[in-house]
Structure 1
Amino acid sequence: MQSAMETTLGELVSRLGGELVGDPAVVVRQIAALDKAEEGDLAFLVSPKYRAALDASRASAFILSPKAADFTDRPRILTPDPYLYFARAAQLFNPPKAVPAGIHPSAVVASELPASVSVGPNAVVGVDCHIGEGAVVGAGCLIGDGVSIGAGSLLHAGVKIYDGCTIGARAILHSGAVIGADGLGFARDADKRWVKIPQIGGVVIGDDVEIGANTTVDRGALEDTVIGNGVKLDNLIHVAHNCRVGEDTIMAAMAGLAGSTTVGKRVQVGGKAGFSGHLEVGDDIVISADTNVTKSIDRPGVYTAMIPLQPHADWVKNFSHLRRLDAMAERVRELEKKLAEQDKKS
């Protein structure tokens, strides 16, 4: 894949840092995986177990940790975190596609917008909206009344933002994201019918947030649902009403937060993890994939609650033991009582 730039290793290191070993005049044009790289590509190694792939790679240069400096005699950039360096190099080689400013003739726009804003085909922008300089509203987006979108934000095609929501600067919202739909708020009457509770809060999303395709963030029932600065949400995530997600937290696909859950700063959440409602999860906590969080956590660390994959017959056998745990616990208590009584008599 061609990139938008070509540079030498010397120029790259002058921009991103690192220690260059080899010819600074070597030209690189793109970042690539070890096994797919060709001449002109820059590849990276994050683990010694891939050394064989490094040896076989056709890349022109490599990004390595200092510990791997002797793995090759070809040109290489040494850095403590090759994966981070790869990310920054990839940004240089693959900048976002430039989108021309202006409003497409098929768009319906009911608010005054800066001339630098781009609004794509068949997009709708409601009344009293405030959209910052250089923002992009993709084809088919629906922006409700009173929405605020910060400068430099990018809404891919088909994003829906309900009335009164706020999106910060430099946010990226992928196709199908829905911001500000009603949360699950219902009361039950005497006839066991559900009575809807109007969701009158909003959604406030901070700066530098990325929200994946088909992810939903519900509006608050009374107060706002809040997504902090720098949060990264993968595809197919649900954030329910009145949740608060702290700065620089990241969540993988299909994670879900039930209503009124607060997640702290720099939290890492694995795929399909679920959070019961009205919980508080502190800062710098890691939740493993498939984990069900059913109580608040206030101490940093890694938390896991799952049953590993096993053959079906083993599962049936183990679950049959699990079903008898209560009876076994009662028998243990009775034995402990008898032992205590015997100790008293002796």
Structure 2
Amino acid sequence: MQLEASEIAALIEGKVEGDKTKVVKNAASLENATDSDLSFLANLKYEHLLYKTKAGIVIIADNYSLKENIPAVIIRCSNPYLSFGKILEHFSKSVIKQKKGISANAQINKVELPKDCYIGDFTYISNTATISENVKIFPQVFIGENVKIGPNTIIYPGVKIYDNTIIGADCIIHANAVIGSDGFGFAPLANGSFHKIPQVGNVIIEDNVEVGANTVLDKGTLGATIIKKGSKLDNLIQIAHNVEIGENTVIAAQAGVSGSTKIGKNCMIGGQAGFVGHITIAPFTKINAQSGVSKTVKKEGKALTGSPAFDYIENLRAQAIFKKLPELEKRVSELEKLSDSREKT
């Protein structure tokens, strides 16, 4: 894979300073880059590395003023981090696009597959599954009955997709994710044991969703568990039965969402956050890492932290008071002693 400076600038709507024909073959950090690599500067914490880098091309911000000349070709743009990400996406998609063909070791039964699909070794596709054009399915994937996978979706190795799951276009499902497993539904019996409640719903993943490695999306008890378009789920997340995740919501690793909870659009949820079941989270809510959300959030745009989670600013104030509790306790004890001594006299 090779790109000239002029091609990179066109992809990110940037402006080249230097040799427009300069070619790079890979991408790397400022400190590890060589003359054939593309790099970028977005965080000024790493500014010093810009003047030491051996990168052939560096993407920087429009308004950044160089303190001294550097040998690299410069491409200026409005958002270096996002622009660098677009180039990485261009590199990776070019590699994945090259993957075509159906492995002789795959079991695809009677499914008709478009010519531009890729099916890896030891993948199993059920008879009634529907696979759209340009889908890439890596080795050792299981795809159950009546599963539908939209165009341009990528399914990485070891993913298990249970019956009746619907996955939209341009999705990415990372390794060993499980889509459509049973929800955690058990009725307690008089003798102390539990009776399993059948889970007969499904999972619906809309377009442009990314699901991280080892993440689990349980199917609905009745109806669907829904991940709406543009949402991004990190690794090791548990999404329970009948949960709804709103458009463009992002959830970091090891978070857990209990059954029938509905999270609005454009929410940002930190790692290891937990949600009780049957609550609703308003759009644009921000949940700090390791927070425990136990109540419905009605007002849009709130920031919450702590367990139980409450307003972020109020929580910081509470933490400041909490730090002073030993000192306050000491002062109260001294006042009590002073009061006792005065009463005796």
TM-score normalised by length of structure 1: 0.83
Aligned to 1:281: 281
1:86 counterpart letter in structure 2 = F
Structure 2 Cα separation of the partners of residues 20 and 132 of structure 1: 39
Aligned to 1:89: 87
Aligned to 1:341: none
Structure 2 Cα separation of the partners of residues 160 and 9 of structure 1: 41
1:18 counterpart letter in structure 2 = G
Aligned to 2:28: 32
Structure 1 Cα separation of the partners of residues 288 and 120 of structure 2: 39
Return closer, same or farther for 1:212/1:88 CA change in 2, 3 Å cut-off. Answer: same
| 8 Å CA contact retained: 2:273, 2:288 | yes
Secondary structure in 2 matching 1:76: strand
Q: After superposition, where does 1:153-168 map in structure 2 within 5 Å? A: 153-168=153-168
Structure 2 Cα separation of the partners of residues 17 and 142 of structure 1: 41
For structure 2, the residue ranges without an aligned partner over 5 or more in a row are 309-321, 333-345
Q: Deviations over 1:297-326 (max 9, x none)?
A: 23204322269xxxxxxxxxx79x69xx9x
Q: Does 1:10 align with 2:6?
A: yes
| 8 Å CA contact retained: 2:264, 2:281 | yes
1:44 counterpart letter in structure 2 = F
| 8 Å CA contact retained: 2:114, 2:132 | no
Structure 1 Cα separation of the partners of residues 92 and 107 of structure 2: 32
Aligned to 2:343: none
Structure 2 Cα separation of the partners of residues 27 and 127 of structure 1: 47
**How far did residue 132 of structure 1 move?**
0.7
Return closer, same or farther for 1:237/1:20 CA change in 2, 3 Å cut-off. Answer: same
Structure 2 Cα separation of the partners of residues 39 and 110 of structure 1: 49
| 8 Å CA contact retained: 2:234, 2:252 | yes
Structure 2 Cα separation of the partners of residues 135 and 9 of structure 1: 31
Aligned to 1:42: 38
Structure 1 Cα separation of the partners of residues 37 and 183 of structure 2: 47
**How far did residue 60 of structure 1 move?**
2.0
Return closer, same or farther for 1:94/1:73 CA change in 2, 3 Å cut-off. Answer: farther
**How far did residue 73 of structure 1 move?**
2.7
**How far did residue 146 of structure 1 move?**
1.0
Structure 2 Cα separation of the partners of residues 72 and 255 of structure 1: 45
Return closer, same or farther for 1:178/1:72 CA change in 2, 3 Å cut-off. Answer: farther
**How far did residue 210 of structure 1 move?**
1.3
| 8 Å CA contact retained: 1:156, 1:175 | yes
| 8 Å CA contact retained: 1:48, 1:68 | no
Structure 1 Cα separation of the partners of residues 61 and 38 of structure 2: 14
Structure 1 Cα separation of the partners of residues 75 and 106 of structure 2: 48
**How far did residue 72 of structure 1 move?**
4.4
Structure 2 Cα separation of the partners of residues 249 and 72 of structure 1: 41
**How far did residue 189 of structure 1 move?**
1.7
Structure 1 Cα separation of the partners of residues 68 and 224 of structure 2: 54
Aligned to 2:104: 105
Between 22-31 and 269-278, the greater mean CA deviation after superposition: 22-31
**How far did residue 246 of structure 1 move?**
1.0
Secondary structure in 1 matching 2:64: helix
**How far did residue 174 of structure 1 move?**
1.4
TM-score normalised by length of structure 2: 0.83
Structure 1 Cα separation of the partners of residues 304 and 80 of structure 2: 27
Aligned to 1:55: 51
Secondary structure in 1 matching 2:58: strand
Secondary structure in 1 matching 2:182: coil
Q: After superposition, where does 1:295-310 map in structure 2 within 5 Å? A: 295-297=295-297, 298-305=299-306
Aligned to 2:339: none
